[in-house]
Amino acid sequence: MQASLEQLSQIIVFAGLETADQISLQPHTLVQHYLKGEIILHEGDRLPAKLYAVVSGSIQVTKTATTGKETILRTLAAGEIFAAPALLGNGISPATVTAESDCEILTIQRDALLKAIQQNPEIALRMLMIFNTRIQLLHETVHGLVSERAIVRLARLIQYFATESGTESSPQGTSLKAKLSYYRMARSSGITYEECVRLIKSINSVVAYSRGGQITILDAQKLDAIASGDVE
């Protein structure tokens, strides 16, 4: 199915694009629906030369080590672009992309995108800013996995999702809108499921975990201290 003008305008790099420019892109777009848990891209897949973007729902990007251990690199929501190697690299998917919820994925042919960039170079600038931010985050993640203690990485992960997905007030404290199961936190922090459970229980005066992955921050100041590595 071809993307609508509304769907195109929802993608971050095309926000504010003139209607005429969006119309010129439309014939080169495709929107596909994926169910929760369905794999969109496999690690190692040969990617067609397209821009990939999330129109609705959310996706999860994971990487599998040679040992078989899988780590969550990031989650992306509506409006985000992904699969940079399809446009800028070797055309091989460096990670597996899975539908975290029912979602719609939009693709745009590379040649049509380059033509749009010639007419509006700001598109390329927005793309570079997004990919540069992700490279920096990846660097920080790798550095953390090598040098930081597991409890520090876990605290930073909770803070990241509090900022990225938002929070809401609850009788106990500040609850994350994103659901973080033990399994998801373990995979994102590079630790085992068992260690994740143990660490969360060890800071139960700082963070509360409820069934379904509901995380509530009970003491933001202490969580910040843990994330800063100031608490043993």
Cα–Cα dist 125/141, whole Å: 24
* pLDDT tens, residue by residue, 150-189: 898 899 889 888 887 789 998 888 999 888 999 889 888 8
How far CA 201 is from CA of 119, 194, 226, in Å, comes to: 55, 11, 14
pLDDT of residue 222: 92
Between these two residues, 59 and 211, which has the higher pLDDT value?
Answer: 59
Is residue 50 within 8 Å of 91, Cβ to Cβ? no
Burial letters for 32-55: b for 16+ Cβ neighbours within 10 Å, e otherwise?
Answer: eebeeeeebbebebebeebbbbbb
Strand 103-109 versus strand 50-56 pairing type: antiparallel
For 53, the 3-state DSSP assignment is strand
Domains in the chain, CATH or no CATH each: 5-145 (2.60.120.10), 149-227 (1.10.10.10)
Amino acid at 183: Y
Check whether 55 has a pLDDT greater than 90. Answer: yes
Amino acid at 164: E
Residue from 77, 73, 38, 75 nearest 56 by CA: 77
Q: How confident is the model at residue 139 (pLDDT cuts 50, 70, 90)?
A: low
Name the DSSP letter for residue 141. H
- CA-based radius of gyration for the chain: 19
End-to-end CA distance of the chain: 54
Percent of the chain with pLDDT over 70: 92
Helix (H) or strand (E) holding 90, with range, is: none
Cα–Cα dist 38/33, whole Å: 10
